[in-house]
Amino acid sequence: MKRLTGLLLLAVILLILPFLFPDNYYVTVVGVTALLHAVLAVSLNLLMGYAGQISLGHAAFFGIGAYTSAILTTRYGWDPWAAIMAGLALTGLVSFLVSRPILRLKGHYLAMATLGLGIIINIILVQGEQLTGGPDGLGGIPTLSLFGWAIDTDLRWYWAMGATMLGVVWLALNIIDSRSGRALRALHGSEVAAEMMGINTTAAKTGVFVLAALIASLAGALFCHQQSFISPDSFSFFFSIELVTMVVLGGMASTYGAVFGALILTFLPELLVVFEDFEVMIFGAILMLMMIFLPQGLFVGLQSFALRWLSRRRAAALHTAGD
């Protein structure tokens, strides 16, 4: 029950925001993007934060989900839901096939291999013009409807994306506290030790890799139907890096940290727009400073700071009471 309090709090905040700020650009437009990023960051955090497998190519699976759904609905007239399922199936297949050889690699070699995978997929999206529309992108993607309820306004997308995000967070929290979650954390600590305890590390790593890819693919499908237009830029190497940054910024191995990191990294550029030409520079500087001074991540860092402060106050209170 305790682990669901955070989730409940998150749900309440999501629920009241649109009523506090109706038709607010930062809630229903940037907010939807932030929720989407949160879904992606939570999925990447399962792989990176808990299993300790770095991936610099997560945008590839986001892209496969988005493009499969977009191509099947616009070029072949598929029903969006069937197209999303097809996207998930394709992502599952691709991620499963690459997971074995890729996850054998460690450290910087793993980083390089995932980065390469991401770039290869992106190049295919740019070059496969007959199918993907090439660098100009692909437009006219139909929106989704759920039981006859068309998700066709910003606010409705906010609800849809919010529900998805809560679902994914719930899933992540449950996995982490399950047997397989403990297996993942064990292999993060030491793969050899985990194997000694009877954990099938290959299966555990493959499983979490495929799961993270599937969640990203689902996010991609939602993204393409929400935007109705996609281009390869949204699935580039830079976006993969941004996702990693969200996870690390929030605090590795903390699901709420990943959500927090996604929110910050989505809103920060919006706020930095006022600095115009200085925007890029300031963004880079903030990134560096945060990592130098709070290497364990903002969320985790602030959390432990708050806990320390609380306990010190309690100690002080006890002290005065003792006097």
Partner 1 sequence: MFDQILQFLLTGITVGATYALVALGFAIIYNASDVVNFAQGEFVMMGAMSAIAMSAGDGLPIFLSLPLAVLVTIGVGILLQRFAIAPARGASVVTTIIITIGASIFLRGVALLLWGKSIFALPHFSGEQPIHIGKATLLPQNLWVMGGAALLVLGVHWFFNHTTHGKAILACSCNRTAAQLVGINVGMMMLIAYGLSAFLGAMAGILVTPITFTSYDAGVMLGLKGFSAAILGGFGNPMGAVAGGILLGLIESLAAGLISSGYKDAIGFIILLLVLFFRPSGLFGKATAERV
Contact set with partner 1 (CB under 8 A): 48, 54, 101-102, 104-109, 111-113, 115-117, 119-120, 123-124, 126-127, 190-193, 237, 241, 244-245, 248-249, 252, 277-288, 291-292, 295
- The residue among 154 and 270 lying less far from partner 1, judged by its C-beta, is 270
Q: How far is the CB of 254 from partner 1 (least distance, A)?
A: 14
- The residue among 30 and 291 lying less far from partner 1, judged by its C-beta, is 291
Q: How far is the CB of 114 from partner 1 (least distance, A)?
A: 10
- The residue among 11 and 291 lying less far from partner 1, judged by its C-beta, is 291
- The residue among 26 and 267 lying less far from partner 1, judged by its C-beta, is 267
- The residue among 19 and 293 lying less far from partner 1, judged by its C-beta, is 293
In the chain, beta strands by DSSP E: 145-146, 149-150
Phi, psi of 149 (to 5 degrees): -100, 100
Q: How far is the CB of 295 from partner 1 (least distance, A)?
A: 4
Report the distance separating Cα 50 and Cα 155, nearest Å. Answer: 33
Q: How far is the CB of 109 from partner 1 (least distance, A)?
A: 6
Q: How far is the CB of 191 from partner 1 (least distance, A)?
A: 7
